[in-house]
Amino acid sequence: GENVEQHPSTLSVQEGDSAVIKCTYSDSASNYFPWYKQELGKRPQLIIDIRSNVGEKKDQRIAVTLNKTAKHFSLHITETQPEDSAVYFCARGGTSYGKLTFGQGTILTVHP
């Protein structure tokens, strides 16, 4: 199916530590994997995305890795800051433009 499983559901880290969130999917036709950050009461915002033809992408303190054989992808945040605290959603797409299937979300809390 098109489901995406996301773990953990909550993640608590100290400022400066790294945070890793993992997602797995089952649809082999998936070829687009974005990550969205949603702060309380605000809109989901795209923070990084990766396509199936690359294994890793990095943008400053955030990176995404993709293992298409194992059908899982991960978000890595290094040197976490309190403003990184939010809900993070992974998603998969590719079978239809813009039709994304989202994971259940991870509540990340970064303690100062």
Partner 1 sequence: DTGVSQDPRHKITKRGQNVTFRCDPISEHNRLYWYRQTLGQGPEFLTYFQNEAQLEKSRLLSDRFSAERPKGSFSTLEIQRTEQGDSAMYLCASSPRGSGDEKLFFGSGTQLSVL
Q: Which residues bind partner 1 (CB under 8 A)?
A: 6, 32, 34, 42-46, 49, 89, 91, 93-94, 96-105
Least Å distance between CB 43 and partner 1?
4
Least Å distance between CB 76 and partner 1?
20
Least Å distance between CB 112 and partner 1?
25
Decide whether 78 or 101 has the Cβ nearer to partner 1.
Answer: 101
Decide whether 18 or 45 has the Cβ nearer to partner 1.
Answer: 45
Query: C-alpha distances in angstroms, 40 versus 37, 44, 69?
Result: 10, 10, 35
Decide whether 2 or 78 has the Cβ nearer to partner 1.
Answer: 2
CA-closest candidate to residue 43, choices 109, 89, 111: 89
For the CA atoms of 9, 97, 39, 81, the dihedral, rounded to the nearest 10 degrees, stands at 80
Least Å distance between CB 8 and partner 1?
14
